[in-house]
């Protein structure tokens, strides 16, 4: 696109060369639609609204802290070139049910301003970072004047850990209108003797949305004064999910076990979720199956499966399947705490080609939360429950059993209560 017309866009295509041959029309990758074309079209809609290096608009509010170059990272606001209620642009808790086009459309409107800063030196990094932090703590949209050093440039970057956003450029100056902080977050921010973990848990217990907690966490708003630092956005999302779900797990372990085998189901954005709860002590597993043509299996000939699990004790290493593991764990723990029960929980996910691009771990969290809102299917034996799972998924049941540590364990390690349940049925 001509520099005088608006933001430019760079698309990173498949190394196999399929994109060159396909040009977005033949769907040689196996996807049902071309994610590059979807993203570029959204960028093009925002282009007429960006006529210069100066952007004025209402931030949702939203900020982004990068991780490249850590501990010297890029930080700054996300600002759409529109003056209206933009709160939905960065509130994943309200996105469930929206189409991928809707999500990408309003996320692609967010222009990212970038300012280089050391994560431990943000307190004295100047006006731009100070205003970015004020913005992150706001509870409603804030009018922002974002002055950039050049026209924004966009890259088609696909990641399951963060939501998509629009083009970016370095910041020349930044002005914001008066902000209205969440009084609970402001209280935690002001308490420089309160550690970060208790601050996160207190805010969650008082009903503050995780998105707002995560944004404040990312700009170093919590913790002992000498320990505060900026946290890259993708890390802060997982950190908040992990902190909250660990606390919920400790509560779950104190409750009696459920009395039956349960299946909770949800399907959204061509992701199929089956949440399997077994009447055993707390343990947890997440398994993902990515079909050929999906973002993490673009050139495969068959579905690829990933999994990770933990027993009754907390895990001590980072889950290999990433932030989705912790997002799903949070959602199932919320339900068990609500019921005051514990269980062994296995979250199974099939990602189909209709999921043309990752939109963030929120999709997993909200999909599993949606499953938890549904009335569960109740079974008296593990085999009956597995039969239901087999009928819902295209991948053979034996593949799920082979991948799963906890399903295999339930089939091999029988307990007296299993025989009692079978007798009752």
* pLDDT 10s digits, 12-33: 544 455 553 454 445 556 666 7
Domain boundary among 176, 193, 219: 176
- In whole angstroms, give the CA distance from residue 26 to residue 33: 9
Predicted local confidence at residue 167, as pLDDT: 84
Q: Are residues 160 and 269 in the same domain?
A: no
Token pair 């008066």 is at which residue? 178
What is the separation of C-alpha 66 from the centre of its chain, rounded to a whole number of angstroms? Answer: 15
Q: Are residues 77 and 217 in the same domain?
A: no
Q: Are residues 383 and 297 in the same domain?
A: yes
Q: Are residues 210 and 150 in the same domain?
A: no
Token pair 């925002």 is at which residue? 46
The total domain count for the chain is 3
- Identify whether 270 is part of a domain: yes
Predicted local confidence at residue 323, as pLDDT: 95
Q: Are residues 289 and 165 in the same domain?
A: no
Cβ neighbours of residue 266 closer than 8 Å, sequence gap 6 or more: 272, 273, 275, 367, 368, 370, 371, 374
Q: Are residues 194 and 294 in the same domain?
A: no
Query: What is the C-alpha end-to-end distance of the chain, expressed in Å?
Result: 66
- Identify whether 225 is part of a domain: yes
Q: How far is CA 97 from CA 212, 264, 282, 403, in A?
A: 21, 17, 30, 30
Q: Are residues 267 and 376 in the same domain?
A: yes
Q: Are residues 189 and 152 in the same domain?
A: no
77-112 pLDDT, tens digit each:
999 999 999 999 999 999 999 998 888 888 888 999
**Cα radius of gyration rounded to whole Å, the chain:** 23
The parent domain of residue 271 ranges over 261-424
Q: Are residues 200 and 89 in the same domain?
A: no
- In whole angstroms, give the CA distance from residue 61 to residue 110: 10
Q: Are residues 17 and 163 in the same domain?
A: yes
Predicted local confidence at residue 40, as pLDDT: 62
Residues of the chain with pLDDT under 70: 1-32, 34-49, 51, 154-164, 414-425
- Identify whether 226 is part of a domain: yes
pTM above 0.75, yes or no: yes
Q: Are residues 18 and 126 in the same domain?
A: yes
């Amino acid at each position: 696109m001509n520099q005088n017309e608006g933001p430019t866009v760079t698309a990173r295509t498949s190394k196999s060369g399929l994109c060159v041959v396909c040009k977005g029309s033949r769907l040689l990758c196996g996807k049902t639609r071309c994610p590059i074309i979807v993203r570029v079209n959204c960028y093009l809609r925002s282009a007429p609204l960006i006529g210069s290096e100066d952007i004025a608009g209402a931030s949702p509010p939203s900020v982004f802290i990068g991780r490249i170059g850590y501990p010297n990272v890029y930080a700054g606001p996300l600002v759409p070139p529109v003056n209206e209620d933009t709160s939905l642009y960065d509130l994943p808790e309200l996105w469930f049910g929206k189409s991928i086009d809707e999500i990408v459309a309003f996320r692609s409107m967010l222009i990212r301003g970038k300012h280089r800063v050391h994560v431990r030196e943000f307190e004295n990094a100047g006006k731009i970072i100070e205003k970015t932090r004020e913005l992150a703590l706001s509870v409603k949209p804030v009018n922002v004047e974002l002055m950039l050093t050049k026209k924004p440039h966009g890259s088609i970057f696909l990641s399951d850990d963060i939501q998509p956003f629009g083009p970016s450029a370095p910041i020349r100056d930044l002005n914001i209108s008066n902000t209205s902080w969440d009084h609970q977050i402001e209280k935690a921010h002001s308490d420089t003797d309160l550690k970060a973990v208790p601050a996160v848990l207190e805010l969650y217990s008082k009903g503050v949305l995780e998105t707002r907690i995560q944004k404040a966490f990312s700009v170093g708003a919590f913790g002992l004064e000498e320990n505060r630092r900026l946290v890259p956005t993708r890390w802060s999302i997982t950190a908040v999910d992990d902190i909250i779900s660990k606390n919920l797990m400790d509560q779950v372990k104190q409750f009696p076990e459920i009395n039956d085998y349960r299946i909770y189901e949800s399907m959204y954005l061509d992701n199929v979720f089956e949440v399997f709860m077994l009447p055993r002590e707390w343990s947890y597993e997440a398994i993902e199956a990515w079909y050929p043509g999906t973002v993490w299996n673009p050139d495969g000939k068959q579905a690829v499966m990933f999994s990770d699990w933990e027993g009754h004790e907390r895990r001590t290493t980072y889950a290999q399947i990433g932030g989705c593991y912790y997002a799903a764990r949070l959602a199932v723990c919320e339900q068990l705490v609500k019921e005051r029960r514990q269980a062994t929980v296995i979250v199974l996910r099939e990602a189909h080609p209709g999921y043309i691009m990752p939109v963030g771990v929120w999709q997993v969290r909200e999909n599993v939360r949606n499953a938890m809102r549904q009335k569960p299917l109740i079974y008296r034996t593990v085999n009956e429950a597995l039969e239901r799972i087999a009928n819902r998924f295209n991948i053979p049941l034996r593949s799920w059993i082979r991948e799963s540590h906890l399903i295999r364990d339930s089939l091999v390690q029988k307990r007296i209560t299993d025989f009692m349940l079978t007798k009752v049925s």
